[in-house]
């Protein structure tokens, strides 16, 4: 699948078929997540793949989102930002969250490419889940991702229509400047860079 198809075709699914997901496909998604950039090559993430229906049901309750139990597989994304904080101080915590977001997006796009459906969940009882899953105290939960086959087929274009529009979310050179200087002037391809504004 082309990247654009994965980006525009990805959508959140909250209703899953009773169909098992290949563990190899899930590992492909995790591998894609691990290719995301990270500060100082300091990898801070771990992925717990949950296939036990009882544990999935418990996760659904701990998220207060009972539809999660429809998924045959749930992935819990954990982070340990201790090394990042040691290297970069308090800013390392920001890097840790940025890395997690980039990795999770890679995971979601790879799942879309493989014909799977997902939902990025950020609301859950951290302490309860960590306790139930024996997550060490220095680890944090970054996301919970149910993964499976959607019951409802959603066309990518219908989803895109609800997303923000490009022209409402881009500024040029300064805050809220909607127009780009030299709108019709573009540098020639494969030529020396042009400094806009010079005569």
Summarize pLDDT for 134-188 with one digit per residue, the tens.
988 888 999 999 999 998 876 544 454 567 777 777 777 777 777 777 666 666 6
Residue 161: the pLDDT is: 52
Q: Would you say 12 and 159 are in contact if contact means Cβ atoms under 8 Å apart? A: no
Express each pLDDT in 83-97 by its tens digit. 888 888 888 889 889
Residue 7: the pLDDT is: 81
For the chain, the average pLDDT equals: 85
Determine, yes or no, domain membership for 16. yes
* pLDDT > 70 fraction of the chain, expressed in percent and rounded: 86
Express each pLDDT in 4-30 by its tens digit. 888 888 889 899 999 999 999 999 999
Determine, yes or no, domain membership for 171. no
CATH number for the domain that contains residue 71: 3.40.109.10
Residue 119: the pLDDT is: 95
Determine, yes or no, domain membership for 199. no
Determine, yes or no, domain membership for 183. no
pTM comes to: 0.80
Summarize the confidence of residues 120-143 as an average pLDDT.
Answer: 91
CA pair distance 191, 199, nearest whole angstrom: 17
Determine, yes or no, domain membership for 176. no
Higher pLDDT, 38 or 146: 146
Helix segments in the chain, DSSP class H: 3-9, 23-33, 53-62, 82-88, 91-113, 126-132, 156-160
Question: Containing domain of residue 46, as a range?
Answer: 3-154
Number of domains the chain is built from: 1
Q: In this structure, how many other beta carbons lie within 10 angstroms of the beta carbon of residue 86?
A: 10
User: In which order are the strands placed within the sheet that holds 73-79?
Assistant: 45-50, 73-79, 140-148, 117-118
Residue 199: the pLDDT is: 45
76 - beta bridge partners? 48, 144
Higher pLDDT, 78 or 176: 78
Q: Would you say 98 and 105 are in contact if contact means Cβ atoms under 8 Å apart? A: no
Q: In this structure, how many other beta carbons lie within 10 angstroms of the beta carbon of residue 67?
A: 14
Residue 160: the pLDDT is: 47
Q: Which of 65, 78, 77 is nearest to 13 (CA)?
A: 65
Q: Which of 162, 180, 183, 161 is nearest to 171 (CA)?
A: 180
Residues 6 or more apart in contact with residue 79 via CB below 8 angstroms: 44, 45, 46, 96, 97, 99, 100, 139, 140, 142
Residue 87: the pLDDT is: 84
Determine, yes or no, domain membership for 14. yes
Determine, yes or no, domain membership for 109. yes
Determine, yes or no, domain membership for 87. yes
Residue 192: the pLDDT is: 57
């Amino acid at each position: 699948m082309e990247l654009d198809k994965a980006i525009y075709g990805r959508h959140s699914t909250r209703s899953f078929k009773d169909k098992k997901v290949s563990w190899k496909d899930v590992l492909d998604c995790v591998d894609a997540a691990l290719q995301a950039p990270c500060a100082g090559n300091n990898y801070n993430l771990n992925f717990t793949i949950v296939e036990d229906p009882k544990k999935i049901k418990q996760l659904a309750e701990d998220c207060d989102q009972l539809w999660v139990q429809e998924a045959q597989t749930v992935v819990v994304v954990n982070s340990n930002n201790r090394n990042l904080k040691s290297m970069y101080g308090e800013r390392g915590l920001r890097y840790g969250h940025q890395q997690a977001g980039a990795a999770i997006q890679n995971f979601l796009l790879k799942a879309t490419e493989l014909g799977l459906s997902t939902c990025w969940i950020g609301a859950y009882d951290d302490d309860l889940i960590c306790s139930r899953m024996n997550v060490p105290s220095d680890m944090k939960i970054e996301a919970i991702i149910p993964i499976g086959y959607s019951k409802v087929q959603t066309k990518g274009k219908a989803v895109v229509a609800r997303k923000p529009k490009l022209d409402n979310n881009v500024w040029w050179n300064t805050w809220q400047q909607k127009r780009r200087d030299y709108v019709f002037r573009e540098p020639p391809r494969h030529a020396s860079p042009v400094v806009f504004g010079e005569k």
